[in-house]
């Protein structure tokens, strides 16, 4: 760079000029730089941009859409990322964040729209292509081969060789040590990945991405598996990288992290961008409002609750998730007969584990839960069912139905071996069918007949089958987890009405939902969970959605 | 180097013990030992080649249960190719080529079209049995023999040299070379690293920019040539005739050997030898007739030994995690 470029001070000649350039953030100056090709050639620290200031547009997405069958995962998404900028994608699970970044990395092909990287708008064919264009990605599920060493994983796909395809693992080890020293992420190159704790595995993933020339680093929920200390370390590394000119796009649903490191935030809901804001112009409350949204509230006619005696009593419950992390962490709640208690919270705060524990599907580590005078802490699903717990599971395909069985069989799935559906161990098909016909009319299950396989029904009708089964035996406690997820509007209304009816008939209802609107319109009492424990309880009529959003985000 | 010794000390200790025992037996029973070792290796040759086919396939993530069919087709094509053309070279090329084609069939059906890998293998076996039985003609003879090679100097080493390098078929030397080469390739080359990644965690390979589908197809197809060699060894070298069902389940035995060898080429070679030796012991027992054991029982000895070794090995060795699973990209 011996030639002088107009608009850029000669930083070699005068150290003060370098500092000035570093600090010049006037709009004219930035505009001049952005339109100046020469800026691309300069090392980031001389580019006129530094901490907090950002360079030319690196990634430009226009009108990106992607559908999986009938589900629109991404709808007309447009966003830009500039050099050296940290951009957060914020949104609930299922908002389409992962789909979006997978399209940037070439793992998913968009249906329509363009992804422009450094001015190149040709479609990204595959990850190889994305890597070649300077995109690195740290995946939510680590893309590391468990039985290989750190060094082997690091070089996979761009191996160091001694020529003729012979691996040079010594060079790989050196590379790991150098990168690890440069970025302050300590790892031992010779340990097998499966022997490393998750936090360290993530370091390997990050180093792996950085081992290639990376302009844009995508982090898909990087902090989901980390301890608070590890999270802080990661955030520091991210800032460090951004300061040296790497752009970062990271996915999260934790507001604290967004406010701590991001320059800008895009908020996604149901596949679309619902807002974009610079972090310095917003706060947790503002982000929470955007995240939760202001949809039309489905109105439900219901009378005031007339709560009776306590039905469900949960005390200081502790449950671990599949990864062995503490998901439910000291959860206490009681639900009385004739009231609906809504559990509001950002997904992943222990709701799933809580419901599974209450249904007897997951081991309780400590604490107590009881139905009336009956202790259910160590009960299995069979016992909880017969104790009078109706359970509408979150994942109806996996836990609610047997898709290959008929509707009639699904409607007696937990009572098929008892009278009147079986006598002396022989199934009574007439009784099963009669029951099915009755429930089909009562719950408006739209099908060609009760012998149709449950798997062929639409989402709403599948859910009605589950709701019909779990409500028809008049449970003392009805637990409904995400009861209207992926269900059409008509069925939503129907299911909501049935839940209110169950309450009016004296059942205690525990409603767990990620939809704040659903919680607000159905519940008599609301419990907000964060980090696996109840952080606030309130009467539904006193509830303020912004306040709940803030509590959900962990700001309490 | 020291680290390598520490890591492999169990394997080395067992290997040394077996070697010492083999030499003790060699000198103590010099009347029968050399011929038994020869018979053991002769039996092991096609098993080594076939086990390598299995190792390459499963290391890349494809379970190959059709090795038996690949061998059978190649034995057939090699024998009749040579008989009709009057050239051993044509026969060998036909055999190896058939192995490649059968490998390509398996690769395309399972990897590209995602047919169930077990079913595709079974289909291959059935097709092979059908074709080779239907077109079988008796009375054909081979125009020549596959040359035996006496490796100078090496063949003078007692036991090891005699058995492996003393007047052995060229295919036997290829089998040893193949085991060594596949071992080096799997663990010391770029191809090997990528292959193992594809067989262990294909999405990691994919996100690292490796074309998993192409890698699997190429590997399974190329491995077919080794199955071809194993097949034509049976019809053109060991017996110089093609009979119905000449492979006699060796393709399946090879899979057992692959597991006993922990999906490692050199260990598979050793396990094939072990199996061959048990077989030699069984036939020795039949010949000498020292014991009053019916030959049907002694004949089961190798299979009983396999069962025992597999039972011991099960749970200790772990195969490639993604073997048997088609790799489907995210949006397909």
Beta-bridge partners for A65: A112
Chain B's closest residue to A167, CA to CA, is B189
Closest by CA to A130, choosing from A212, A67, A211, A205, is A212
The ipTM of this complex is 0.88
Q: How far apart are CA A527 and CA A548, in angstroms?
A: 9
Residue B63 lies in a domain: yes
Question: Distance of CA A335 to CAs A69, A193, A481, A525, B73, Å?
Answer: 39, 45, 15, 9, 71
Which residues of A173-237 form beta strands (DSSP E)?
216-219
Q: Do B190 and A159 touch (CB under 8 A)?
A: yes
Residue B194 to residue A157, Cβ atoms within 8 A = yes
CB contact under 8 A, B190 and A105: no
User: B2 versus B306: which is more confidently predicted?
Assistant: B306
Domain ranges of chain A: 1-48, 60-292, 310-552
Are A127 and B209 an interchain contact pair (Cβ–Cβ within 8 Å)? yes
Interface contact flag, A131 B209, Cβ < 8 Å = yes
Q: For A169, name the nearest residue in chain B, comparing CA atoms only.
A: B188
Decide if A526 contacts A344 (C-beta within 8 A).
yes
Give me the domain span that covers residue B251: 21-313
Q: What is the pLDDT of residues A335-354, one digit of tens each?
A: 999 999 999 987 778 899 99
Is residue A330 pLDDT above 70, yes or no?
yes
Q: Which CATH superfamily is domain A310-552 in?
A: P-loop containing nucleotide triphosphate hydrolases (3.40.50.300)
Distance from C-alpha of A456 to C-alpha of A454, rounded to nearest angstrom:
5
Rounded distance between C-alpha atoms, residue B51 and residue B34, angstroms: 25
Nearest to B204 among A107, A145, A159 (CB): A145
| B207/A107 Cβ within 8 A | yes
Is B221 within the bounds of a domain?
A: yes
Q: Report the pLDDT value the prediction gives residue B325, as an integer from 0 to 100.
A: 86
Query: Would you say residue B86 lies in a domain?
Result: yes
> Given CB atoms, is A158 within the 8 Å cutoff of chain B?
yes
Does residue B116 belong to any structural domain of this protein? yes
Answer yes or no: are the C-beta atoms of A378 and A358 closer than 8 Å: no
User: Fold match between A60-292 and A310-552?
Assistant: yes
Domain-embedded: residue B108: yes
In the numeric block, the tokens 């995508």 are attached to: A218
CA distances (Å), A57 to each of A114, A118, A212, in order? 15, 7, 21
Residue B26 covered by a domain: yes
* B28 domain residue, yes or no: yes
The pair of three-digit structure tokens given for residue A210, joined into one six-digit string: 């950085």
What is this structure's pTM?
0.72
A102 touches chain B (CB under 8 A): yes
pLDDT per residue as tens digits for the range A433-464: 999 999 999 998 888 889 988 888 877 789 99
- What is the CATH code of the structural domain delimited by A60-292? 3.40.50.300
CB–CB contact B188 A155 (8 Å)? no
The first and second tokens of residue A229, run together, are 């200390």
Predicted confidence band of residue A93 (pLDDT cuts 50, 70, 90) = low
pLDDT at residue A2 in the model:
39
- Which among A102, A156, A165 is the nearest to B330, CB-wise? A102
B244-249 contacts: CB < 8 A, separation 24 or more? B244/B132, B244/B133, B244/B136, B245/B72, B245/B129, B246/B72, B246/B75, B247/B68, B247/B71, B247/B72, B247/B75, B249/B68
Mean pLDDT along residues A487-504 = 83
- Please tell me the total count of domains within chain B: 1
Ramachandran region, residue A521 (left: φ > 0; alpha: ψ -120 to 50; beta: rest): alpha
CATH code where residue B259 lies: 1.10.3470
**Do residues A70 and A120 make contact, with C-beta atoms less than 8 angstroms apart?**
no
Per-residue pLDDT tens digits for B104-159:
999 999 999 999 999 999 999 999 999 999 999 888 889 988 888 888 888 888 88
Asked whether residue B207 is domain-assigned, the answer is yes
Residue A159: list chain B partners with CB under 8 A. Answer: 190, 193-194
Segment (H or E) for A313: strand A310-320
Contacts of A137 in chain B (CB under 8 A): 207
């Amino acid at each position: 760079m011996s030639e002088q470029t107009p608009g850029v001070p000669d930083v070699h000649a005068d150290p003060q000029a370098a500092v000035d350039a570093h600090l010049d953030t006037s709009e004219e100056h930035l505009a001049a730089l952005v339109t100046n090709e020469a800026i691309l050639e300069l090392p980031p620290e001389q580019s006129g941009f530094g901490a907090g200031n950002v360079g030319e547009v690196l990634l430009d997405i226009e009108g990106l859409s992607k559908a999986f069958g009938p589900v629109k995962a991404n709808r007309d998404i447009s966003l830009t990322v500039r050099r050296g900028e940290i951009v957060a994608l914020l949104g609930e699970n299922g908002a389409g964040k992962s789909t979006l970044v997978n399209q940037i990395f070439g793992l998913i092909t968009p249906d329509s729209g363009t992804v422009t990287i450094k001015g190149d708008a040709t479609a990204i064919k595959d990850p190889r292509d994305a890597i070649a264009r300077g995109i690195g990605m740290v995946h939510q599920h680590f893309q590391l081969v468990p039985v290989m060493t750190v060094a082997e994983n690091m070089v996979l796909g761009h191996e160091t060789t001694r020529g003729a395809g012979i691996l040079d693992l010594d060079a790989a080890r050196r590379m790991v040590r150098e990168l690890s020293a440069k970025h302050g992420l300590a790892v031992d190159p010779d340990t097998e990945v499966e022997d490393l704790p998750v936090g360290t595995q993530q370091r390997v993933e990050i180093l792996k991405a950085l081992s290639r020339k990376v302009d844009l680093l995508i982090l898909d929920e990087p902090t989901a598996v980390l301890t608070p200390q590890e999270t802080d370390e990661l955030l520091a590394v991210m800032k460090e990288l951004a300061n040296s000119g790497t752009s970062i796009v990271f996915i999260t649903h934790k507001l604290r992290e967004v406010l701590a490191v991001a320059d800008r935030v895009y908020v996604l809901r149901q596949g679309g961008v619902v807002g974009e804001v610079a972090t310095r112009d917003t706060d947790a409350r503002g982000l929470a409002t955007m995240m939760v949204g202001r949809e039309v509230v489905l109105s439900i006619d219901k009378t005031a609750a007339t709560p009776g005696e306590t039905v469900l009593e949960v005390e200081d419950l502790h449950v671990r998730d599949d990864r062995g992390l503490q998901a439910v962490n000291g959860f206490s709640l009681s639900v009385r007969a004739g009231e609906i208690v809504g559990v509001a919270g950002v997904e992943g705060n222990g709701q799933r584990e809580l419901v599974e524990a209450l249904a007897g599907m997951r081991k309780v580590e400590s604490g107590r839960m009881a139905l009336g005078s009956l202790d259910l802490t160590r009960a299995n699903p069979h016992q909880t069912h017969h104790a009078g717990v109706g359970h509408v599971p979150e994942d109806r395909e996996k836990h609610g139905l047997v898709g290959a069985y008929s509707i009639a069989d699904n409607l007696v799935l937990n009572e098929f071996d008892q009278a009147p559906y079986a006598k002396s161990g022989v199934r009574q098909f007439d009784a099963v069918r009669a029951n099915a016909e009755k429930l089909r009319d009562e719950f408006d299950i739209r099908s060609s007949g009760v012998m149709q396989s449950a798997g062929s029904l639409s989402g709403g009708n599948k859910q009605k089958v589950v709701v019909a089964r779990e409500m028809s035996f008049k449970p003392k406690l009805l637990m409904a987890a995400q009861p209207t997820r992926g269900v059409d509007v008509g069925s939503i209304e129907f299911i909501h009405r049935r839940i209110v009816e169950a309450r009016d008939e004296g059942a205690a209802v525990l409603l767990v939902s990620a939809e704040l609107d659903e919680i607000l319109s159905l519940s008599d009492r609301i419990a907000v969970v964060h980090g696996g424990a109840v952080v606030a309880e309130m009467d539904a009529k006193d509830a303020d959605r912004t306040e709940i959003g803030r509590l959900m985000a962990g700001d309490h | 180097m020291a680290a390598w010794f520490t890591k492999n000390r169990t394997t080395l200790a067992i290997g040394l013990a077996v070697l010492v025992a083999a030499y003790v037996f060699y000198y103590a029973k010099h009347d029968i030992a050399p011929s038994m070792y020869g018979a053991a290796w002769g039996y092991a040759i096609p098993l080594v080649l076939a086990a390598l086919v299995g190792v390459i396939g499963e290391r890349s993530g494809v379970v190959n249960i059709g090795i038996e069919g690949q061998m059978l087709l190649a034995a057939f094509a090699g024998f009749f190719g040579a008989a009709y053309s009057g050239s051993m070279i044509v026969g060998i090329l036909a055999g190896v080529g058939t192995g490649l084609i059968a490998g390509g069939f398996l690769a395309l059906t399972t990897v590209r079209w995602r047919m169930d890998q077990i079913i595709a293998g079974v289909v291959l076996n059935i097709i092979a049995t059908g074709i080779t039985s239907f077109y079988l003609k008796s009375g054909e003879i081979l125009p020549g023999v596959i040359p035996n090679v006496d490796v100078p100097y090496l063949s003078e080493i007692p036991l090891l040299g005699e058995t492996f390098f003393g007047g052995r078929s060229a295919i036997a030397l290829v089998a040893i070379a193949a085991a060594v080469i596949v071992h080096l390739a799997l663990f010391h080359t770029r191809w090997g690293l990528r292959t193992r990644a594809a067989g262990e965690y294909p999405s990691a390979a994919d996100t690292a920019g490796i074309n998993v589908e192409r890698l699997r197809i190429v590997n399974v197809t190329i491995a077919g040539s080794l199955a071809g060699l194993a097949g034509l060894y049976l019809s053109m070298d060991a017996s110089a005739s093609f009979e119905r069902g000449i492979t006699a389940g060796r393709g399946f035995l090879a899979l057992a050997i692959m597991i006993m060898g922990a999906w490692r080429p050199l260990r598979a070679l050793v396990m094939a030898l072990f199996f061959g030796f048990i077989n030699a012991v069984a036939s020795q027992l039949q010949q000498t007739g020292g014991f009053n054991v019916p030959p049907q029982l002694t004949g089961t000895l190798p299979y009983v030994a396999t069962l025992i070794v597999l039972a011991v090995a099960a749970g200790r060795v772990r195969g490639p995690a993604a073997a048997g699973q088609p790799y489907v990209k995210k949006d397909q």
